[in-house]
Amino acid sequence: MRTFKTLAIIMMLSLASPSFAQKRIDEPDGHDVLLDVILLRPIGFVGLIAGTVSFIATSPFTAIATIPKPHDAFSKMAKFLIVKPAKYTFVRQAGDLDYEQGFRGK
């Protein structure tokens, strides 16, 4: 009887596995927020300014590219050079390093 109890306890302990709490992936931690605020937001803002200057500088060439169909060169160029950096800099949640809005056809 003592052997049976020992085997039963060993079996129960071997089948029981501890569950560890895991951090949710979509929740940013303090390091992500600090990296974002100190480094990525200023880089996004510089990218926004550089994209706006590039858009203005290349607007004559974009006007020429708008002549053939589908006539959407200005909107594509504005999305790529102005809207995407603006969304990355100002719309994105602080610490969200996996921000994909506007980068995959959205």
Provide the residue ranges of all domains of the chain, joining segments of one domain with +: 29-94
Query: Per-residue pLDDT for 102 more than 70?
Result: no
State the pLDDT at residue 81. Answer: 93
Strands (E), the chain: none
Highest mean pLDDT among 11-15, 68-72, 93-97, 101-105: 68-72
Q: Which residues contact 16 (CB under 8 A, 6 or more apart)?
A: none
- The model's pTM is 0.65
b/e for 39-70, b at 16 or more Cβ within 10 A? ebbeebeebbeebeeebeeeeeebeeebeeee
Q: What is the pLDDT of residues 19-66, one digit of tens each?
A: 555 656 666 677 888 888 899 899 999 999 999 999 999 999 998 988
Query: Pick the residue with more confidence: 2 or 58?
Result: 58
